[in-house]
Homo-oligomer: A and B are copies of this chain.
Amino acid sequence: MADSVGMRDLAELKERLRVFVAERDWDQFHSPKNLSMALAVEAAELAEIFQWLTEEQSALPDADRRRRAADELADVLVYLVRIADRLDVDLLQAVGEKLEQNAIKYPAERVRGQARKYDEY
């Protein structure tokens, strides 16, 4: 059990999801369109956990809420990796490039302590 739960990295997750989907013949449902919709639904289910809490309360969730959040985070990751796979996007490379862009868009000395969107600067 421990072995099957253990997940080393995103590459292994991608492979295991491929097998899971193939065994169920679910590739027919996994268009980027459908997967992106499913991802948005899971993201909303995560947000639902925190929506009526104050920000402070959301930072100190009880065990049940934290467990439910972990569950939704996992769902989001599943669909994220599936979409990236279907679009042949390397997630780690994409996020590396995004961080480079963000470092330029949001220079630390200029945006410190402010949350406005970059195009409002």
Contact = CB atoms under 8 A, between A and B. Distances in A.
Interface of A: 1, 4-10, 13, 16-17, 20, 23-26, 28-29, 31-34, 36-56, 58-59, 61, 66, 69-71, 73-78, 80, 83-84, 86-87, 89, 91-100, 102-103, 106, 108, 111-113, 115-116
Given A69-B83, A76-B76, A80-B80, A40 B47 contact: yes
Given A69-B83, A69-B89, A83-B69, A38 B10 contact: no
Given A73-B89, A108-B23, A32 B59 contact: yes
Mostly helix, strand, loop or mixed at chain A's interface? helix
A8 to B, nearest CB: 7
B112 A25 contact: yes
A20 B108 CA distance: 8
Contact of A98 (B52, B78, B91, B99): B78
